[in-house]
Every structure is written in C-alpha cells, then in structure tokens.
C-alpha cells in the first residue's frame, strides 16, 4: 500500500486505535485534513481555539487513560496550543500533539506562519520530533504514542512540515508494531529489597501516614492502593490530583492535604513518624516550607519516575517502578508474612486524628442569606448522587469542589493542578463528554475562568454535548481577591471583574439553556431541573457570596501545622 504523508498520518492514527482528534485547520495541515475527509474511522472534533483542542484532548485522556490527540496548524496554531501542552506536561497526561510546519526548504527563513515549534515546546513536553522525511513519519508517530503513554506519561509533539504531507509523493506504508529505543526503557517492577525495606518500615510505624498523588490514578493503581490501605488500617490523604484514587467517603481518608487541605490531614502529615508517598511529587502546594515538612518521619517514596525521587524532599527508602505493581507486591508480602502493624500504637494514633477531626475545619455559615460556594458544591453532590464526571477550572471554586465533592472513583475529578490553567474547564469537559457520551458531565467554573475559553460553547452546540456548566459567580478573580485581602491589606488591585456579561443571555445566544440562581432556597430545584435536561447544555449562573474565602489555608512558606482556619485568621 502506497500512501502520501497526509494519508500516513491518518492511517497511523487508525492503527493506534485513535477514536477522536481535536483540532483546528490551517494552511500547513490541509493535506492531513484532506486525508481525514476521505475516511470515517477517526472522528475529528472542530474546536474554536487551539488551546481548546489541547485541553479537550487532555480531558479525554484524563477521563479514559487513553492518549489524547490534537491537530493544529503552524505558527499561531502551535503557539495557541502551548498552554494546553504545558498543562498536560505538569500533570503527566498522555497526549500526542500533531503540529503543522512550513515546508522544509523555507524552515528558518521566517516564512509565513513559521515558529520554531520544537524549540518553543521543548521545556513543556516529554519529547518532541521534527519530521523532515516522509519515510520517517510512521515510525515517528509510533514512537510518539509509545513515549506519551509509557513510564511517567506526558505530551509529545510531532512537528510536520507541509511538504512531508504532499499528496503527490507516495511511499509504501508499514506501521511498526514493535519498537526498540535504546535510550528509553521505563522501569516496570520495583526493586524487591527496597520493597521489603518499605514493608518493614510501615509495619514498625507508630504514627504512619499514606500520601498519594496523581500517579495512582495515571498508573491505574486505585484497586491495589485501596486493598493495601484497608489491609493495614492506616490513615490516608491525597493531593488535589489524586482525589478519587481512594474512596473519599471512607473513614480512613482524612481529606486533601496541602495549602487548602484539611486540618486533620495536614496535622497528621506533620506529626507522623513514617510516611509513604505514592505517585506524588512533593510539590510546593503540598509540602509548604520544606524544612518543616514531616519533620519526624522516615519517608518512603514510590514513583515510576526516578527523577522525582529526592528532587524536592530527601527520602529514606526510594522505590522506582509502576505503582500498581509495587503496591500489589507490598500487599502480598504483608499477607504472606502474616504480619500486622502495632495495633495499640495505631489505635492511639487514630484517637489523635479523631481529635483533630473534631475541629471541623470545613464548617461554614449555613444560615447565610447569600449562596455560599460550599453550599453550592454540597448541593451539586446531593443532586448528582456523587456520580458526576466533574471538570473544574482554576480558582476558589476548584478548591471548594475538592473539599466538598467527595469522589469515590478515580478519573471522575478532572482539573489542572500543576499549571493551574484558567480556561481549562469547558474544553476539558468537551473531551470528557465525548469520551463518555452517556455519562453526566459538569464543568464547575468561576466568572473569570469561564471567559477564557467561552467560545467552546459553540463546539458544544455543534456536537450536541449536554454538559452542565455550574458557574460560581462572585464578580471577582476569587483566589486573587483572597490573597489581596489576606496579604495586601485589602488592596483589590484589578481583581474585580467590572464588566461581566449576562451569562444566561450569552448561553442562550450559543443555542443553550441559561439559568440564574440567587437564593439558597432556589438552588437545589434549579440544579435538579438542569440535570433533568439530559440532551441540553445548561449554563447555571449561581450568584455566590463574593466575600467567602477558602479555608483552611497555609500561607506560602509556612509548615503544615501553621494553618488559618477561619475568616478571623484563627491559627491552628
């Protein structure tokens, strides 16, 4: 079979089992788009901005575990996608980004719509390629998918000059089924001796703590994690990215940790004597001040990426390997040996944890005449029975969702953690809804975040996506306002959004249903009405208390035990 470069791209996607490509056409990729037109196996989703293409592919990947794919043109097409690429990179999301490039003879001449895509994206991809010969195209695409999905996942860019996809040049097509990459061999199994050391340390612990991250979700390790934690009876906490890997409604789960984590989770981290970190990278929003992080603890770190170990926090027992494999081996070792933790010490530790829980750090004013954002999230949970795929933008609403919507399953909580990308929510929800067409998908957002990619409401209309947008509208860039209140003496410099649109009319102008809710007593009924519309996108504009802040809060540079617990800035 002889194919052109454009046809090779499409056929390679078919051979990879790709279902959806999110993209936006332009001159440098028209040969590829022409090849897409002549087939029906790979479905193309036309977004309204290249950033939306990257976020939609990202949301699809997070919700399924499969590799997301987006296709954009050269120059501004590629640069518009960079924010989405960086978002995926920070959260280790498997994606392949196909970018058009000017023809090879004019690369470097400042040709029309030329940018150095490889150079621009190098700091925020797992790897990237510039394909200069059509004969290399199939192999490069195969490598891109392998690199993106193996080891620690991440985005891979394939930059394709227009002449490489010329329909007049055809070559024999063969897609490589196996690959040998001498310089890239991800570790699968953990070192047996290190695993035994870790098990011995855990069983000897008096005040143990399990700390999990997004790597548990990405590594499909939710089941072995849950079995191990219940087997040993230890308390467990999670980063923002790991929520849902262990059932959040379970008694052993202490809530999220870190800057806006619960009092009990943060205090348990600070006071523990043995910590096992699983698929987490010790980022600054979790550790707080490094010198005060887990000061009494022996630290075990399990991760597939060796470069993450002892990068930010020195660890005592490192284990490199696929999280699911290592957890299974740890569970087997404990079971076969018939050993148990020190039950008396563990009982004392749980009594202390329950005392910390007694502070009720997530309490808020439930009698307010205004809709509190916490109440809005709790009502959302009640109306949806906790079964949502909940996609979040970035800001206060994101933290309230993480605190008040307990996820009991992995891949149900979709948000930008590492980069904190405003505008992520709506396009990512598109990817999630297309991945799970029969599921209920909601995007929780803020009035500042939603405007960044609001044009994707047109994509939702074109593809009849019944996403429910829950806008917590406080008239501010809420998290910026909170910091300005707490640390800048209330100088709200440019954090008030002075000219918001009528979101109900805006949603209706795109062909969707718009609803506004201003009173707490009206909220549940409005949400039930919205979610009953199974075949329509409904935009719920929920007017919330603009003065409400996210608590607990650890100020940057402080330790886990130094939390603000209330608007009065009560210190723990």
Mean pLDDT of each 10-residue bin along the chain, 572 residues long: 97 98 98 97 98 98 98 98 98 98 97 97 98 97 97 97 97 92 90 96 97 97 97 97 97 96 96 96 89 93 94 94 96 90 96 96 94 98 97 98 98 97 98 98 97 98 98 96 94 93 98 98 98 98 97 89 79 60
Predicted confidence at residue 199, as pLDDT, reads 96
Predicted confidence at residue 291, as pLDDT, reads 87
Alpha-carbon separation of residue 285 from 7, 125, 204 (angstroms): 45, 22, 29
Q: Is 479 a catalytic residue?
A: yes
Predicted confidence at residue 182, as pLDDT, reads 85
Which helix (H) or strand (E) covers residue 458, if one does? Answer: helix 457-462
Q: How far apart are the first and last CA of the chain?
A: 70
Predicted confidence at residue 180, as pLDDT, reads 84
Q: Is 382 a catalytic residue?
A: no
CB neighbour class for 434 (10 Å; exposed up to 12, middle 13-18, buried from 19): buried
> Out of 209, 267, 399, 479, which one is annotated catalytic?
479
Predicted confidence at residue 570, as pLDDT, reads 65
> Out of 37, 112, 188, 354, which one is annotated catalytic?
112
Q: Is 343 a catalytic residue?
A: no
Distance CA 25, CA 16 (A): 22
> Out of 7, 50, 329, 548, which one is annotated catalytic?
50
Predicted confidence at residue 122, as pLDDT, reads 97
Predicted confidence at residue 320, as pLDDT, reads 97
91 Cβ neighbours under 8 A, 6+ residues apart: 62, 214, 241, 416, 417, 418, 419
Distance CA 320, CA 317 (A): 10
542 Cβ neighbours under 8 A, 6+ residues apart: 371, 376, 470, 471, 472, 473, 516, 517, 523
Q: Is 41 a catalytic residue?
A: no
> Out of 14, 113, 231, 292, which one is annotated catalytic?
113
List own/partner pairs for 527-534 with CB under 8 A and 24 or more apart. Answer: 527/379, 527/380, 527/383, 527/470, 528/383, 530/468, 531/383, 531/384, 531/440, 531/468, 533/466, 534/466
Distance CA 31, CA 21 (A): 15
Predicted confidence at residue 557, as pLDDT, reads 83
> Out of 126, 162, 298, 372, which one is annotated catalytic?
162
Q: Is 293 a catalytic residue?
A: no
């Amino acid at each position: 079979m002889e194919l052109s470069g454009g046809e090779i791209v499409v056929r390679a996607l078919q051979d990879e089992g790709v279902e959806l490509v999110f993209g936006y056409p332009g001159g440098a990729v028209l040969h590829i788009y022409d090849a897409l037109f002549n087939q029906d196996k790979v479905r193309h989703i036309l977004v309204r901005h290249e950033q939306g293409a990257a976020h939609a592919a990202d949301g699809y990947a997070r919700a399924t575990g499969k590799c997301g794919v987006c296709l954009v043109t050269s120059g501004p097409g590629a640069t518009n996608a960079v924010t989405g690429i960086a978002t995926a990179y920070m959260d280790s999301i498997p994606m392949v980004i196909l970018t058009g490039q000017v023809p090879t003879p004019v690369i470097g001449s400042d040709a029309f719509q030329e940018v150095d895509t490889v150079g621009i994206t190098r700091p925020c991809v797992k790897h990237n390629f510039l394909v200069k010969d059509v004969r290399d195209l199939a192999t490069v695409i195969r490598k891109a998918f392998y690199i993106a999905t193996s080891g620690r996942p991440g985005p891979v860019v394939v930059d394709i000059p227009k002449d490489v996809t010329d329909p007049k040049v055809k070559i024999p097509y063969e897609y490589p089924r196996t690959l040998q990459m001498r310089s890239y061999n991800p570790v699968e199994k953990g070192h047996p001796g290190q695993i035994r050391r870790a098990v011995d340390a855990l069983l000897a612990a008096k005040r143990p703590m399990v700390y999990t991250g997004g790597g548990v979700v990405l590594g499909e390790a939710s089941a072995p994690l849950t079995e191990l934690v219940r087997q040993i009876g230890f308390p467990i906490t999670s980063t923002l990215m790991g929520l849902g890997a262990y059932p959040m409604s379970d008694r052993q789960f202490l809530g999220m940790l870190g800057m806006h984590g619960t009092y009990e989770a943060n205090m348990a981290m600070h006071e523990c004597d043995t910590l096992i970190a699983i698929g987490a990278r010790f980022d600054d929003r979790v550790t707080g001040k490094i010198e005060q992080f887990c000061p009494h603890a022996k630290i075990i770190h399990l991760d597939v990426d060796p470069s993450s170990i002892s990068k930010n926090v020195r660890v005592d027992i490192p284990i490199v390997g696929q999280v699911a494999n290592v957890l299974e081996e740890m569970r087997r070792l404990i079971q076969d040996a018939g050993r148990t933790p020190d039950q008396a010490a563990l009982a004392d530790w749980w009594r202390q944890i329950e005392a910390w829980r007694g502070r009720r750090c997530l309490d808020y004013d439930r009698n307010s005449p205004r809709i509190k954002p916490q109440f809005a999230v709790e009502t959302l949970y009640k109306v949806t029975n906790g079964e949502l795929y909940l996609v979040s933008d970035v800001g206060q609403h994101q933290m309230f969702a993480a605190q008040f919507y307990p996820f009991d399953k992995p891949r149900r909580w979709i948000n930008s953690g590492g980069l904190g990308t405003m505008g992520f929510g709506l396009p990512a929800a598109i990817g999630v809804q297309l991945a799970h067409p029969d599921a209920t998908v909601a995007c929780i957002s803020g009035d500042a975040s939603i405007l960044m990619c609001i044009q994707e409401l047109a994509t939702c209309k074109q593809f009849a996506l019944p996403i429910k947008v829950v806008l917590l509208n406080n008239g501010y860039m809420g998290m910026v306002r909170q910091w300005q209140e707490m640390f800048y003496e209330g100088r709200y410099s440019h954090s008030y959004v002075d000219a918001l649109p009528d979101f109900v009319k805006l949603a209706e102008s795109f062909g969707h249903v718009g609803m506004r809710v201003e009173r707490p007593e009206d909220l549940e009924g409005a949400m039930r009405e919205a979610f009953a519309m199974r075949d329509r996108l409904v935009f719920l504009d929920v007017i919330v208390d603009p003065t409400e802040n996210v608590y607990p809060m650890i100020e940057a540079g402080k330790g886990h035990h130094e939390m603000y617990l209330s608007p009065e800035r009560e210190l723990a």
